[in-house]
Structure 1
Amino acid sequence: MSVCQTCGACCASFRVDFHPVELAGGAFAWGQGVPVEMTVPVTPAIVRLCGTDASPPRCVALAGEVGVAVSCSIYDVRPSPCREFDVEHAACNRARQRCGLAELPRS
Structure 2
Amino acid sequence: MNHTCLRCGACCAFFRVAFHWSEADVITDGSVPSELTEKLDPHRLAMRGTNAAKPRCVALVGVVGEAAHCGIYEQRPSVCREVVPSWEFGTLSAQCDKARLAHGLPLLTPNDWPAPHASFPNVG
The TM-score, its normalising length taken from structure 1, stands at 0.90
In structure 1, what residue type is equivalent to 2:5? C
Question: Could you say which residue in structure 2 is the equivalent of 1:105?
Answer: 109
Question: Could you say which residue in structure 2 is the equivalent of 1:49?
Answer: 47
Question: Could you say which residue in structure 1 is the equivalent of 2:97?
Answer: 93
The alpha carbon displacement at 1:45 in A equals 0.5
In structure 1, what residue type is equivalent to 2:109? P
Q: Percent identity?
A: 45
How many residues of Structure 1 are paired with residues of Structure 2 in the alignment?
104
The alpha carbon displacement at 1:78 in A equals 0.3
Cα distance change on mapping 1:26 and 1:16 into 2, 3 Å = farther
Question: Could you say which residue in structure 2 is the equivalent of 1:68?
Answer: 66
Q: What per-residue deviation string (whole Å, max 9, x for no partner) do you get for residues 1-24 of structure 1? A: 210000000000000000011004
In structure 2, what residue type is equivalent to 1:64? G
CA distance in 1, matches of 2:66, 2:27: 34
Cα distance change on mapping 1:26 and 1:91 into 2, 3 Å = farther
Question: Could you say which residue in structure 2 is the equivalent of 1:4?
Answer: 5
Indicate the structure whose relative CO is greater, using CA pairs within 8 Å and at least 6 residues apart.
1
Alignment RMSD, CA only? Answer: 1.5
Structure 2 residue runs of 5 or longer lacking an equivalent are: 87-92, 112-124
